[in-house]
Amino acid sequence: MKKKEETKMEYVLRTTELRKKYKGFTALDGLTMNIPKGAIYGFVGRNGAGKTTLIRLITGLQRPTEGGFEIFGIKNTDRDIVKSRRRMGAVVETPAIYLDLTARENLRQQYRILGLPNTDGIDELLELVGLADTGRKKAKNFSLGMKQRLGIAIALCGDPDLVVLDEPINGLDPQGIIEIRELILKLNRERNMTILISSHILDELAKLATHYGFIDSGRIVREMSAEELESACRKCVRMTVTDTGILSRVLDEMGIDYKILDDKTADVFAKLNFSQTAGKLSEQGCEVVSMTEKDESLESFYISLVGGEEQ
C-alpha cells in the first residue's frame, strides 16, 4: 500500500482521458498527461491545440466535460481539490494585474485575496522577479516583460509548489525572453518548484524543459523526457552528392542509417569517415559536394509528430 502511495505522489499533475466540448467544438479530446514532481514540463502545441483549455480546467476556471485529473494526488471531484489548488500559482493567457497600482500594491492585493496573514514575503518576491526598484511606478507604465514578471510574482504569492505559465514569453523582446527564462530556472532549481509551461515557441522551450508533452487537436501525441527528446532529435550529417541513389546503396552496404531528402541531398545518422565514404562513392561514380553536421530542431521534431503542417 505504501509503495502505491509513493508512486502516486511522484506526479504533481495527472490527467486521464480529459475532454472539454463546447457547442460544435471539442477543445480537449481524451487528453492524458503526467507531470513529475520537480519537472519543468514543456507543454508544446500550436495555437488552438488545447493548451489554454487544459490550464483553465486544472486551475478551476472551467469544468471538464468528461475524464478527470489529479493535483498532488487529489482528484478534481474531491472536495479537497481546493486545498491542492492553493499549492498552485498560475498566469493564464495574460497576467492578472491592476494597471493603476504599483508592483508592491499588486502583490499586497493578491496577499489579501489569498487571505495571507502578513506581507513579509513581498520584498523578497519583488527582488526575485527583478522589480524591487520600480518604486511608485504604476504597472500601466511597465514594459511587456516587466508586466509578465509581475504576473509571475502574483502567481508566486503563497509560495506554491506548482507554477503554471501560459505562453510566458509571447511578444517579448530578446532581453525579456532571457529574463523570464532565468527566472523560471531559478524557481525550479532554488525553490524546487514544479513548472508547467505552455508554449508554441519550441526552440526556446528546449533551453528550459526537463520533460515534454506534445499536444495536437486536444490530445497528447507524445510525452517524453528531455533526454529522450535529445535522442530522438538525432545529430546527423547533411550530405549533398551528385546521386543519392548511389549514396543509398553505399550506405546500405556500410549498415548506416540515413534519410534521402531529394535526388542530391540526404541526412546520415552516423559519424562518417569522410575519406572512406568519399572513396566508396567515387568508385561508383558519385561525388560528394558538401557535408555539414546538423541537429534536428525541436520544431521540426514536433512537425514530424503531428503530420507536417506549419504552425
**CB neighbour burial string for 87-121, b if at least 16 within 10 angstroms, e if fewer:** bbbbbbeebebeeebbbbebbbebbeeeebeeeeb
The three-state secondary structure class of 126 is: helix
Q: Is the per-residue pLDDT at 201 higher than 60?
A: yes
- 86-95: average pLDDT: 88
pLDDT reported for residue 9: 44
Give the pLDDT band of residue 3 (cuts 50, 70, 90): very low
- In sequence order, what are the residues at sequence separation of 6 or more whose Cβ sits closer than 8 angstroms to the Cβ of residue 231? none
Would you state the pLDDT for residue 231?
77
Is pLDDT of 177 > 80? yes
- Whole-number Å distance between alpha carbons of 164 and 43: 10
Instruction: For 249, list phi and psi in degrees, rounded to 5.
Output: -65, -45
Annotated domain spans of the chain: 235-295
Q: How far apart are CA 4 and CA 39, in angstroms?
A: 21
User: Tens digit of pLDDT for each residue in 223-256?
Assistant: 999 988 887 777 788 899 999 999 999 999 989 8
Question: In the structure grid, which three cell numbers stand for residue 181, read together?
Answer: 527564462
pLDDT band with cut points at 50, 70 and 90 for residue 310:
very low
Q: What is the mean pLDDT of the chain?
A: 89
The H-or-E segment that residue 25 falls in is: strand 25-36
Closest among 33, 30, 29 to 15, alpha carbons compared:
33
Residue 215: per-residue pLDDT: 93
| 3-state class (DSSP) for residue 13 | strand
pLDDT score of 308 = 57
CATH number of the domain at 235-295, out of 3.30.70.100, 3.30.930.10, 3.30.1300.10, 3.30.460.80?
3.30.70.100
229-238, 256-265, 295-304, range with greatest mean pLDDT: 256-265
Q: Give the pLDDT band of residue 296 (cuts 50, 70, 90).
A: low
Judge whether residue 281 has pLDDT over 90: yes
Q: For residue 198, which of 163, 167, 231 has the smallest C-alpha distance?
A: 167
Give the Cα separation of 108 and 120 in Å (integer): 10
Partners of 71 in the β-ladder: 13, 74
Residue 240 CA to residue 294 CA, distance in Å, equals: 13
Asked if 215 and 221 count as a contact pair (C-beta separation under 8 A), the reply is: yes
Mind listing the pLDDT tens digit for each residue in 178-192?
999 999 999 999 999
- C-alpha dihedral (272, 273, 274, 277), degrees to nearest 10: -80
Identify which has the larger pLDDT, 138 or 229.
138
DSSP string, 218-271: TEEEEEEEHHHHHHHS-EEEEEEES-HHHHHHHHHHHT--EEE-SSSEEEE-S-
Mean pLDDT of 253-266: 90
Q: Which of 54, 60, 63, 3 is nearest to 33 (CA)?
A: 54
Cell 506534445 sits on residue:
214
User: Does 1 score more than 90 pLDDT?
Assistant: no
pLDDT in tens, 157-173: 989 999 999 989 888 88
Residue 270 has pLDDT above 90, yes or no: no
CA–CA dist 210, 230 (Å, integer): 11
The residue ranking higher by pLDDT, 5 or 58, is: 58
Whether 5 has a pLDDT exceeding 70, the answer reads no
